Amino acid sequence: MSEPATDAPGLSDAERDELRRHGILLTKIEELVNLGRSKSVWPLQFGLACCAIEMIAASMARFDIARFGSEVFRPSPRQADLLIVSGTVTKKMAPQVVRLWNQMPEPKYCIAMGACAISGGPFKQGYNVLKGIDRFIPVDVYIPGCPPRPEALLHGLIQLQEQIRTAKSSGPKTTRHLRPGDCNYPVPEFGDRDLEPPANPAVWQPPQIVRSEKA
């Protein structure tokens, strides 16, 4: 679905396809930029636990993440576009993960890979595990599984590419990095019992319990 305000006036998608069949390509700078961005998403070379093994498998010859333009795992956050949080985020590790995220240049994207990164997974009841990286940084794609298969990671990457391709540079659906505001996410401190603060209220609110009425 496209935003009427930003589309070329009077031309529907079908008409543009028709024109393309005749050898006339009508496009927008935004679409070209998005296309380029989506085909070269460089992940940060960074693994946290068992899920990282599947991420490594996805990058090797058999699954070959290079088919999707993401084979360049960068060892520096300054050169990376994508943070794959692949594994358990302990509370001791969480500030470092947020710091890495802050050091990545915009536009940047985050994939939470596996049950641990989404919610704490098998360690949800533990005192020392962060119950989901989305408590501190905004997550674009969640990949469930323990661990997710490499195919699932590739599927998540394709979903992300889809999101990038349809990103908007203006209007109500502007992508996150073009919205006004501070793009620095507060790094939690080590408290005497827990992280301080335990979550960033700007990106995460505890879920509400809905009680179903029974007759």
Partner 1 sequence: METLEQIRDRLLARFPGAEVTLVTNPGAAAQHSLSLGLAHAAAMALFLRDDAELKLDYCSNVTGVDWPEKEIIESTKVSVPDPAGGPAKIVEQKTKRIQPGSLEVVYHLYSMAKKHGPVIIRLRTANRTDRANVPSLTPVWRSCEFQEREVFDLFGVKFDGHPDLRRILMWDEFTAHPMRKDYVEPDDYEWEPTPHGTVLDKAKAHYPPSALVAAAPAAPAHGAPTHAAPAPKEAPKP
Binding residues for partner 1 (CB under 8 A): 91-92, 119, 124-125, 127-128, 131-132, 190-194, 198-199, 206-213
Q: How far apart are CA 76 and CA 163, in angstroms?
A: 24
Residue 176 φ/ψ, nearest 5 degrees: -60, -40
Q: Which of 125/184 has CB closer to partner 1?
A: 125
List the single partner that 192 binds among partner 1, ligand SF4, none, CB under 5 to 8 Å by kind.
partner 1
87 binds, among ligand SF4, partner 1, none (CB under 5 to 8 A by kind): ligand SF4
Q: Residues 94, 121: contact at Cβ < 8 Å?
A: no
Residue 189 bridge partners (DSSP): 196
User: Least distance from C-beta 103 to partner 1, angstroms?
Assistant: 21
58 or 141: whose CB is closer to partner 1?
141
Least distance to partner 1, CB of residue 162, Å: 16
Give the whole-angstrom CA distance, residue 169 versus residue 179. Answer: 9
Instruction: Work out whether strand 141-143 and strand 109-113 pair parallel, antiparallel, or are unpaired.
Output: parallel
Q: Does 129 bind ligand SF4 (CB under 6 A)?
A: no
Q: With CB cut-offs between 5 and 8 Å by kind, which of partner 1, ligand SF4, none does residue 146 bind? A: ligand SF4
Largest CA distance in the chain: 68
Per CB under 6 A, the list member of 44, 49, 80, 160 interacting with ligand SF4 is 49
CA-nearest of 109, 110, 117 to 144 is 117
Half-sphere exposure at residue 178, Cβ-oriented, CA atoms within 13 angstroms: 11
Asked if 84 touches ligand SF4 (CB under 6 A), the answer is no
**Does 119 help bind ligand SF4 (rule: CB under 6 A)?**
no
Which residue among 82, 94, 116, 157 contacts ligand SF4 (CB under 6 A)? 116
**Among 124, 179, 168, 135, CA closest to 29:** 168
**Positions that interact with ligand SF4 (CB under 6 A):** 49-51, 87-88, 114-116, 121-122, 146-147
